[in-house]
Amino acid sequence: MSWSEKISAGDWPAIMQSVAEAIVTAVFVVTFLLQAFTIPSESMEHTLLVGDYVLVDKFCYGGSVGWNRLLPYRNVHRGDIVVFHYPVNPAQDFVKRVVALPGDRLRLINKRVYINGALVAEPYTQYIPTARSPYLDDFRAPNLPSSQ
């Protein structure tokens, strides 16, 4: 007896209902709870490799007003790995590590990160010697007038 013969004509509505429920559940989970992303570049090598998959918890971060206070949101911390839409091309997703928070003063001097004037210990980073580029390797404070 073949597979199609085992399923009688009366079972088709139940099967279609099960398939529809599975599709609705999958769309809900991907839209609101979890989503898989592929690492597109080597910017986080030795932590995440090109082609690795990460499962992102979409329910983790949120606001602190209204209904959001009832949900298990938390604030973003330094060192968290976040996924966001690239502002120039929203179809492209970026997977990056949080380096600084709002209000922090960030500087990049000789390929070292300084936050609020203190050198940040980053054991997960690697420094590959390349040709020196002041534009890429230094993010110094702008020359501000003496009144500021």
User: Which tokens sit at 66?
Assistant: 């209204």
Q: Is 96 a catalytic residue?
A: yes
Catalytic, out of 96, 111, 146, 147: 96
Cα angle vertex 74, ends 69, 75, to 5°?
115
- Beta strand segments in the chain, E: 34-38, 53-57, 81-85, 93-97, 106-109, 112-115, 118-119
**How many helices (H) does the chain have, and how many strands (E)?**
3, 7
Q: Is 43 a catalytic residue?
A: yes
Catalytic, out of 4, 41, 43, 133: 43
3-state class of 31 per DSSP?
Answer: helix
Give the residue numbers annotated as catalytic, written as ranges: 43, 96
